[in-house]
Structure 1
Amino acid sequence: MKKQLLIMAISAAVSPLSYADEQVETITVTATRAVNQSLSTLATQVTLERADIELAQAETVPELLSRFAGIDVAQNGAGRQVSSVFMRGASSDQTLVLVNGLRVNTASSGAATWYTMSVDLIERIEIVKGPRAAVWGSDAIGGVINIITRTQSPGSVTVNAKYGTNNTQAYYLGGSVGHGDGATTIAVTKERSDGLDVLKTSEPDEDGYDNVSFTVNGAQSISERIALNWLFKSAQQDTDFDSTYLNKSEDETQEWQIGGAYNWHVGGVSNTSSLSVGATKDKNLSFGNGRDKKDGDLFETRRDQLTLSNTTQFNEAFSLVVGTDQYEEELVSSTDFAQTERRIEGYFGHGLVDIGRFTAELALRYDDVENVDSESTYNAGVGFNITDALLVSVAKGTGFKAPTFNDLYFPFGGNAELLSETSETEEVSITYQTNTVDASLSYYTTDIENLIEWAPDADNIWQPRNIAQAEISGVDIIASYSGFGGRHTVNYGYLDAIDARNDTRLARRAKNQFSYQFMASFDTTDFLFNYEYKGDRVDQGTTLESYQIVDVSVNHRFSDVVSGKLKLHNLFDEEYETVFNYQTLGRAVYLSINYQM
C-alpha cells in the first residue's frame, strides 16, 4: 500500500527538471535523496508550489516561510534586510538551506543569505522538518529547506512588472527554449525599493535595496536511460542598513551545477545513478559611515561540491539509496584568518520498507570535517496505517552542525578546539488524508548539546566555547479542508525552546504561532486571505509583544495572456517588532501586471 504523507504529500525536488510536454523527468525526493523512487518517506514535509507563490505575492522568501507551523522569522527591519529563520526552535544556522540540492549556508557565518533571493525566480520550496543530517550532513538539525529554481514551458515568454509602497519596483523577464527532449529556462529579475528606516535608535534615513538576479535552468534527455541537467544562478544586491559602524553592503551570490542521471537494471532490479558537480559563492562587502569600499569588511566563502548517489528500487516494497558528498570550502576575507580552507566528506545510506500497513525507514551517515571531530548520525522511523486515511508514526534522529570558519579561526577570538554542535530528536506524528481533508499533528522534543557560545575562560580570555545546551519541545498542527467555497488551511505551532543552563527562553522565537489561509478560484479571479498571529518573544532581555497581520491578494486574468495582481499587506497597519528596536513594514499596497504567451 502506498502511504501518503499529509498536507502537500511527497516533497519532489527536481534535480534536473520536469516538463509536462517533454520526456525529461528525473525526480529526487529531498527527504531521502532517492531518485525516481515510488515509496513515501515518514519525514514531516510540506511543499509550496509556484501557483501558491504567485498568489501570495510575498516580497521575500522568509515571508513565505513564516506562514508554516514550526517556522519563525526574525528580521532586522523590513524588505531585504538580514533575516533569521528558526525551524522547530533550532538556531538560524542549524537549518540546512539548498538551491536545487546545492547547500548555500555560508562557511563563514553558517547562515543562508536570504535577502539576496528573488521570489520571482522560485518554482517551488520544499520543507523537511526535523533532523536530516543522516541524509544531508551538517546544519540539518532543525530541518532542510530546498529552493527549486523556476522553470517555464518550452516556447513560453513571461513579462511581469510590479510597483508598490516605498517606491518598491520589481520586473521579471523569462523565457524557455525547447531542444529535442529537453528545455532551458532563462530568466532575469530587477528589484528595488527605497525601504524604510529600519533601526529606531540610529540614522533616521531610508534603508533600501537594489537587486539584479539571473538564472539559466535546463535539462536534456540523451536517451531513455540518460538525462542531463544544468543550472547557473547569480544575484547582486546593494543594501542600506543602520549601524554605528557600517551602513552599506554589496552582496553577490552565485550557484552553478551540472548533473546527470543514468537508469539501469540488473536482474529485474531498477537502479538510478546520479552525479552532480557544482559550486557556490557568497560575497559580502560592508562599508559606509566614513569608510570607502576599499576599506570595507570583506567576507567571501566558496564551496565546490560533488555528489554521487545510487537509488535501487528492489521491488514495490523496498528501496535503498547510497551516496557520498564531497566539499571543498574556502574563505577570502579582508581579515587574516589562521586557516582559510577545509575539506568535508560525507557517506550516507537510506532505506525504505513498505509492507502492508507498515512503513519503516533507516538512514545512516558518516561525516569527516577537516580539523574537527568526525560525526555519525542516523534517522529511524516506523509508521502504521490504522486505516487507508490515518497514519501514525514515530521517529528518532540525530544531527550536528560543524563549527564555521568564524567559530574556529576568526583572528579576534576564534577557537580551533571547538567540537560540532549535536542534537537528538524524537517525534510522534498522526496524519489524516482524504479527498477533502489533509491534517497532521506532530509532537517533537530536541536536545542540543555542545552549543557554541562566547564566554571567558579561567584567565578571562573570551572565545567561542562548547558550553551551552538547549531543550526544545513543540507541537505542529496543520489542517487543510476543501469546501465552503474554497480551500481552508490552518497552521498552529507551539514551541518551548529553553536555555538549559538557566531555564530561560531562547531569543527571538515565538512560543505560539497561528495562521489561516483561505484560497478561492472563480472564473477569471483567484483570491487569497492570509491571517497570521505570532506570540510574544524575548530579545536582548526585552519581551516583544505578540502581533497579528492580515494580507489580501487577488489575481485577475483579463485574457489568456494578460493578468493583474493586487496585494494589501498588513491591512490593519499593525506595529510590531521581531528584533528589538527594528521597525517592520506597516500597511502596504502592491500592483502587478503580467504578460505570458
Structure 2
Amino acid sequence: MDIKRSLILLFSSYGCFLFGQEKAIDTIYIFDNQMNRVKLFHPVKTITPEDAEKNSTNLSELLRFQSQLYIKENGRGAVSSPSFRGTTAQQTAFVWNGININSSFLGQGDVNNIAAFGYDQIGVKAGGGSVIYGSGAIGGSIHLNNTLDFNKGFHGTLFSEAASFNTYNNFVKGSYSNDKFSFKISGNYVTSENNYEVPEFVVGSTSYTNTNGRYYNTSINIGVSYKIADHHTISWQSQIFDASQHYPIFELTGNKTKYNAQTLRSLIAWDFNKTNISNSLKAAYTEDNFQYFSDINLPKASGATGKNYIFKNDFNYFITPKININAIGEFQTNKGEGYETGFGNISRNIGSLAGVIRYFATKDFRFEAGIKKDFVESISSPLLYSFSAKWNAVKWYHTGVNFSKNFRYPSFNDLYWKPGGNLDLRPETSVNVDMDHEFSIENFKIILSPYYMNSKDLINWLPTPNGYWAPFNTSKVESYGLESQVTWNKDFGKHSLKLNGSYTYSKSVNKDTQMQMVYVPLHKAVGNIDYQYDFLKLYVQGLFNGLTYTTSDEKRSAAIDPYFILNAGISAELFKKYTLGFKVNNFTNTVYQTVSLYPMPKRNYSIYATINF
C-alpha cells in the first residue's frame, strides 16, 4: 500500500476531513476542525450525550465522575471551578467549537454557569495546548463541540428528569438534514430548590441545611450549515444561556445573596475543503454578563458586561502526502464594562500567529512541531512552542511524547479591579512534558501518562498594607504525576459489559514553601461499569478522592478528608424509541465536601424518560 493511501486511511480513521476521502467530507461538519488533528497525537477523553445522562445534574458532576479533573464546587449547583494536573482554574481552557470562552474578567470558566446539555460531544484533553487553543490551556482543556450531519433526515430527542430536592431537568433536540442543508436546535431547562440536608455536618450548633441554595438555568443551541458549492460550506452555531444561583447561608438570619449570569455565543464559519487543502474562516461574537445581589430582594450590588469580537483563519495544506503545514491567525477585541467594580469601560486587542508542521514518516510514526506568537495589548507575551510525536511500535503498544510552552495572560480583574488591579503583571508561563504509553490486547486497553510541569509567575491575590487585596506574580510551581486509564469491553450474545476506569496521582508543589498546592488531591480514581442485557441497562460509578489540603501550610485539621462515592442506575429501552430510567446518586450516603465548609448532598434519587423519534 503506498504512503498516500495509508495517510488517507489514517485520517479517515480519526474522522478527519482534511485529507480523507471526499465522501467523509460530505458526511459531517465539525465546528472545531482542530480537534481531529489533536487526536492524532494526544489522548482525548470523549463524553457522549448518552454518557451525560448518567450525570445530568450539572457540568460539574459530569466532569467529576467522567474525567480526571478535580472539580471544586461551593455546594451543589453553586460556584464551581476545575483543576487539571494540580493547576489552577485559570490554567484550564474552556473551548466552545474551537473558540476559547474563558471569562475576560476572571480568566477562567465557572463550570456551573456553562450548559451541560446541547453538545454532540464533550472532549477532555490533559496537557498544554496554548499553541492551538490560546491563553489558559496550560493544565488542559475542556472542549464543548457541536457537529452537523448531512443526508440524515429528521431526528428528535426528548429527555425529562425529576430528582430529589425538587430538581427538574428537561432537554429537547431536533435536527433535519439533506444533501445540501443541515439544521439542529436544542433547548435545556434546569431548576432545583436544592434544599438538601446533611445532619452529620454541624455549623456552629446547627446541623447543615443548604438554605438559599436554589438555582435554575436555561440554554438554547442552534446550528445551521449549507453547502454553497461542492467544496464550500457556510455554517452558523449559536448558544444562549441564562442562569441564577442563590448562595447558601449558614444561619437562618444570614443575608441571602445570589448571582445571575447570561452568556451569548455566536459563530459563523466559511469552510473550503478539498483532498489536500482546506481553509476555515471564522467570525465569532461572545458576550458574558453577570450581576451580584448582596440581598436577593434588592437591586444588584455589582456586575459587569464583557463583549468579545473574534476573527480566526485556519489554513491547512499537504505539500506532499507526507508533509502537512497548518497556519492559524487570530485577532480579537475584548471589551468590558463594570458596575460598582472600580472600573468603567475597558478594552484590549489581541492577535496571534501560529504555524504547525506535521510529518507522517510512515503509517506507524508521525510528529508535529508548532510555534506561536501572541500580541496582547500592553502585555509582553512569550514565544510559545510545541512538539508531539506518536509511534505505533507494535500492534499492542503505542507511545507518544509531548513537549510545549504555554501561558495565560492577566484577566481584566487582575489588571483593572479597583482597588487592587495591577497593570505591571506578567503572563503566567509553563513548560510541560508528558508521555503516553498505550497497551492494547484484544478488548483491553491501558494508557499510562506520566507528566511534568514547571510554572512561574503565577498570579496570586494577596493582602496589602493599605487594607485591600491585590494581584502579584509570586509563585513558582512544580507539578508532576501520573494519569492512567483502563478500558475493557465484551459482547457475548445479548450481554454487553464495559469497564472504564482512571487513576490520577498529582504532586503540585509551591517551590518557595515546598508545600502542596491547595485543592489538589494527591490521589483521585473514578470507575464506570456498564452492563446491558437486551433492552435493560445497568451502570455503577465509583469515585475516590484522596486527602486534599485547603490551606497553603498543609494544615491537617483544615484539610478535606478522603472520601468514596458510589452512584448506580438502571434503565429499560422500549420499542427502540422510549427509555425509562432510575438513578441513585451517592448510594453510599457519604458525607463529603469538594470545598471546605460546603457539604455536598447525601443519598439522592432521580427518575427520567427519553423519547427518540
Partner of 2:60: 62
Distance 2:113 2:160 in 1: 19
Partners of 1:211 and 1:183 in 2: how far apart? 27
* CA distance in structure 1 between the aligned counterparts of 2:402 and 2:157, rounded to whole angstroms: 44
Question: More displaced, 151-160 or 408-417?
Answer: 151-160
Which structure exhibits the higher relative contact order, with contacts defined as CA atoms closer than 8 Å and separated by 6 or more residues? 1
Match of 1:98 in 2: 95
Deviation of the 1:564 alpha carbon: 1.0
Q: Which residue does the alignment assign to 1:340?
A: 346
Q: Does 1:252 align with 2:249?
A: no
The question of 1:558 aligning with 2:561 is answered: no
**Aligned residue type for 1:374:** S
| 2:600 counterpart (584, 587, 595) | 584
What is the CA deviation profile of residues 234-256 of structure 1, one whole-angstrom value per residue up to 9, with x for unaligned ones? 11112211366761121111111
Give the Å deviation of 1:65: 1.7
The secondary structure found in structure 2 opposite 1:560 is coil
Gap change, CA 1:68 and 1:88, over 3 Å in 2: farther
- Supply the AA of the counterpart residue of 1:181: K
Is 1:516 the counterpart of 2:527? The answer is yes
Shift of 1:457: 7.0
Task: Kindly state the Cα deviation for residue 324 of structure 1 after the two structures are TM-superposed.
Answer: 0.8
Whole-Å Cα distance in 1 between the matches of residues 526 and 513 of structure 2?
A: 31
Change (3 A) 1:431 1:376: same
Give runs of aligned pairs for residues 155-166 of structure 1, distance below 5 A. 155-166=154-165
Q: CA RMSD in A?
A: 2.8
Q: How big is the shift at 1:492?
A: 0.6
Cα offset for 1:43? 2.1
Q: 1:23 — aligned with what?
A: 26
Separation in structure 1 between the aligned mates of residue 586 and residue 382 of structure 2, nearest angstrom: 45
Cα displacement (A) at 1:274: 0.6
Q: Is the 8 A contact 2:167 2:192 kept in 1?
A: yes
Q: Distance in 2 between matches of 1:355 and 1:235?
A: 45
Residues 115 and 377 from structure 1, CA distance in 2 versus in 1: closer, same or farther, beyond 3 angstroms? Answer: same
CA gap of 1:29–1:543, structure 2 versus 1, over 3 A, is: same
TM-fit CA distance, 1:164 = 0.8
What's 1:178 paired with?
A: 177
CA contact (8 A) 2:477 2:508 kept: yes
**Is contact 2:165–2:196 with CA below 8 Å preserved after alignment?**
no
1:439 maps to what in 2?
446
SS in 2 for 1:122: coil
Tell me the amino acid that sits aligned with residue 263 of structure 2.
T
Contact 2:161 2:606 in 1 (8 A): yes
1:463 to 458, 470, 478: 470
Q: CA deviation at 1:343?
A: 0.8
Moved more, 330-339 or 371-380: 330-339
Instruction: Point out the more displaced range, 147-156 or 252-261.
Output: 147-156
More off after superposition, 482-491 vs 408-417? 482-491
Equivalent position SS for 1:529: strand
Q: Matched residue of 2:566: which SS?
A: strand
> How does the TM-score come out when normalised to structure 1?
0.90
Kept in 1, the 8 Å contact 2:566–2:585? The answer is: yes
Partners of 1:106 and 1:563 in 2: how far apart?
37
1:216 is matched with which residue? 222
Q: Partners of 1:164 and 1:188 in 2: how far apart?
A: 19
What residue ranges of structure 2 are gaps of 5+ in the alignment? none
CA change 1:503–1:13 in 2 (3 A) is farther
Moved more, 451-460 or 582-591: 451-460
Which sits farther off after the overlay, 561-570 or 176-185?
176-185
- CA change 1:325–1:206 in 2 (3 A) is same
Residue type matched to 1:355 in 2? Answer: A
Q: Is the 8 A contact 1:44 1:128 kept in 2?
A: yes
Letter of the aligned partner of 2:520 in structure 1? R
Residue among 496, 500, 503 paired with 2:511? 500
User: Which residue of structure 2 lines up, in the alignment, with residue 6 of structure 1?
Assistant: none
Are residues 1:327 and 2:339 paired? no
SS, match of residue 342 in structure 2: coil
> Match for residue 414 of structure 2?
407
Unaligned runs of 5+ in 1: 4-8
For residues 223 and 503 of structure 2, the distance between their equivalents in structure 1, rounded to whole angstroms, comes to 36
Alpha-carbon offset, residue 395 of structure 1: 2.0
Q: CA deviation at 1:549?
A: 0.8
Query: Cα distance 1:216–1:312, how it changes in 2: closer, same or farther (>3 A)?
Result: same
1:109 aligned residue (101, 106, 111): 106
Contact 2:337-2:345 within 8 A present in 1 as well = no
Residues 451-489 of structure 1: CA distance to partner in whole angstroms, max 9, x if unpaired? 111346798985211111111001001011123851111
TM-score normalised to structure 2 length? 0.88
Measured in 1, the distance between the counterparts of 2:399 and 2:497 equals 28
In structure 2, distance between residues paired with 1:385 and 1:11: 15
Q: Is the 8 A contact 1:528 1:552 kept in 2?
A: yes
Contact 1:286–1:297 (CA under 8 A) maintained in structure 2: yes
Query: Does structure 2 conserve the Cα–Cα contact (< 8 Å) formed by 1:445 and 1:472?
Result: yes
Contact 2:148 2:225 in 1 (8 A): no
Q: 1:460 to 1:596 in 2, by over 3 A?
A: closer
Match of 1:362 in 2: 369
Structure 1 residues 313 and 52: CA distance shift in structure 2, 3 A: farther
Counterpart of 1:524 in structure 2: which amino acid?
F
Distance in structure 2 (CA, Å) of the matches to 1:584 and 1:290: 23
Matches of 2:507 and 2:381, distance apart in 1? 30
Q: Which residue of 2 aligns with 1:225?
A: 231
Aligned to 1:187: 186
Give the Cα–Cα distance (whole angstroms) in 1 for the partners of residues 113 and 13 of structure 2.
28
Shift of 1:27: 3.9
Q: Deviations over 1:553-578 (max 9, x none)?
A: 22311223221121111111110011
* Cα pair 2:260 2:290 within 8 Å, conserved: yes
Q: Is 2:567 aligned against 1:567?
A: no
Q: Which amino acid aligns with 1:431?
A: E
SS of residue in 1 equivalent to 2:483 = strand
CA distance in 2, matches of 1:509, 1:10: 37
User: Does the alignment pair 1:239 with 2:250?
Assistant: no
Partners of 2:127 and 2:157 in 1: how far apart?
37
Residue equivalent to 1:307: 312
User: What is residue 286 of structure 2 aligned with on the other side?
Assistant: 280
CA distance in 2, matches of 1:49, 1:434: 24
More displaced, 197-206 or 134-143?
A: 197-206
1:372 is displaced (CA, Å) by: 0.7
Retained in 1: the 8 A contact 2:461–2:469?
yes
8 Å contact kept, 2:544–2:562: yes
Q: Distance in 1 between matches of 2:562 and 2:394?
A: 40
Contact 1:47/1:125 (8 A) holds in 2: yes
Task: Identify if the C-alpha distance between structure 1 residues 10 and 140 changes in structure 2 by more than 3 Å, giving closer, same or farther.
Answer: farther
Contact kept? 2:323, 2:360, Cα under 8 Å: yes
Is the contact between residue 67 and residue 491 of structure 1 (CA under 8 Å) also seen in structure 2?
no
Aligned length: 578
Residues 364-401 of structure 1 show CA distances to partners (whole Å, capped at 9, x for unaligned) of 11101111112211111233322033122222111100
The answer (yes or no) to whether the contact 2:100–2:134 under 8 Å persists in 1 is no
| C-alpha deviation, 1:288, in angstroms | 3.7
Report the secondary structure of 1:155's partner residue. strand
Q: Which residue of 2 aligns with 1:318?
A: 323
Contact persistence 1:362–1:380 (CA under 8 A)? yes
Instruction: Write the distance in 1 (CA, Å) between the matches of 2:148 and 2:365.
Output: 37
